[in-house]
Amino acid sequence: MATNKLTALCLAMATLLTPSTTLPLVSSKRQTIGAPCTDVHIFLAKGWNEEYPGRQGKLAGAICSGLSSCDYEDIQFYNTPEADYCASVTEGNTNGVAQMTAYADRCPDSRLVLSGYSQGANVAGDILGGGGGRFGNETVYCTVGDTVGLDRSTSPGNKLGAALIFGDNRHVANQPYNILSGAGISANNPRFPDSLTRMNEFSDILRSYCVDSDPVCAAAGPGPFVVDNHLNYFDIYSDDAAAWVKETLGL
Ligand SMILES: *[C@@H]1O[C@H](CO)[C@@H](O)[C@H](O)[C@H]1NC(C)=O
């Protein structure tokens, strides 16, 4: 398949996300190797073509606000317009599990939080449920590499205290953790049943945000679609999501 066709697909499926401005964060920072362990440690999977940490930087700041020991770490993956959508997701899935495993090994008393947005929501969901299979349509598609999702009974799965998904390219209607007006609508490439079953083992600590006008997570719905409503989740819902994370962590 021609690269330009896949790029066009990514543009169409993931929508045009321009790199967001990195927001100044008061109480959270990029994790560095050897940094002290924090009580709450957030992993962020960025949206398509975002710079680290992307729009979710605002969410990380809101979660860490008021906490004395909290920071975040970017899941490393390359997802500029030149990158293959599926290759980027596979890289994020592999690195995300590896980074969470390494952190939990080094900091076994820390509570972990996972958040993913747009293409990064695909990554976060795959980290929970396992990745693989096609993304695209009948004629233009790519294939995500097979990865195993987290096991909730062993580290780092048993260290995860809350997980968040926003504007998911793999959104599936009517899941117990879906909220907002798009809760009953699926994306064009919904999560595959076996991965969904495994992801749902985390249902009680999971929340998926989707509005019905989001052309990504609610793409299979009637619309009307407003691209801005795929881009503004963190302007509108960061405080709500942060409060839910704190409540879910029992803080
Ligand atoms: C599949 O996706 C490509 C790229 O977005 C698009 O050009 C094409 O029209 C789509 N085909 C179908 C059958 O929807």
Q: Whose CA is nearest to atom 14 of ligand 1?
A: 137
Say yes or no: CB of residue 4 within 6 Å of ligand 1: no
Position 30 scores a pLDDT of 54
Q: What are phi and psi of 136, to 5 degrees?
A: 140, -145
Domain ranges of the chain: 3-13+37-249
Spacing, Cα 187 to ligand 1 middle (Å): 15
Ligand 1 pocket check for 226: Cβ under 6 Å: no
- Closest atom of ligand 1 to 11 CA is 5
CA 66 to centroid of ligand 1, rounded, Å = 47
CA of residue 139 to ligand 1 center, whole Å: 6
Instruction: Flag residues of the chain having pLDDT under 50.
Output: 1-29
Computed on alpha carbons and rounded to an integer, the radius of gyration of the chain in Å comes to: 17
Whether 241 and 116 have beta carbons less than 8 Å apart is answered as no
* Structure confidence at residue 17 (pLDDT): 44
Which atom from ligand 1 is nearest to the alpha carbon of 13?
A: 5
pLDDT at residue 117, rounded to an integer:
98
Q: Is the CB of 11 under 6 A from ligand 1?
A: no
Question: What does the pLDDT read at residue 114?
Answer: 98
What is the per-residue pLDDT for 35? Answer: 84
- Ligand 1 pocket residue status of 18, Cβ below 6 Å: no
HEC string of the chain? CCHHHHHHHHHHHHCCCCCCCCCCCCCCCECCCCCCCCCEEEEEECCCCCCCCHHHHHHHHHHHCCCCCEEEEECCCCCCCCCCHHHHHHHHHHHHHHHHHHHHHHCCCCEEEEEEECHHHHHHHHHHHCEEEEEECCCCEEEEEEECCCCCCCCCHHHEEEEEEECCCCCCCCCCCEECCCCCCCCCCCCCHHHHHHHHHHHHHEEEECCCCCCCCCCCCCCCCCCHHHHCHHHHHHHHHHHHHHHHHCC
Question: Cα(12) to centroid of ligand 1, in Å?
Answer: 9
pLDDT in the model for residue 2 = 38
Most informative mutation of 3, 16, 139, 141 for ligand 1 (most atoms within 8 A of CB): 139
DSSP secondary structure letter of residue 40? E
Q: Which amino acid is at 78?
A: Y
Measure the CA–CA gap between 22 and 36, rounded to whole angstroms: 23
1 lines ligand 1 (CB under 6 A): no
Joined tokens for residue 104:
């939990």
Topology of the domain covering 3-13+37-249: Rossmann fold (3.40.50)
Determine if ligand 1 sits within 6 Å of the CB of residue 137: yes
Q: Is the CB of 8 within 6 Å of ligand 1? A: yes
| Predicted local confidence at residue 32, as pLDDT | 57
Give the 3-state secondary structure of residue 105: helix
Please give the model's pTM, rounded to 2 decimal places: 0.90
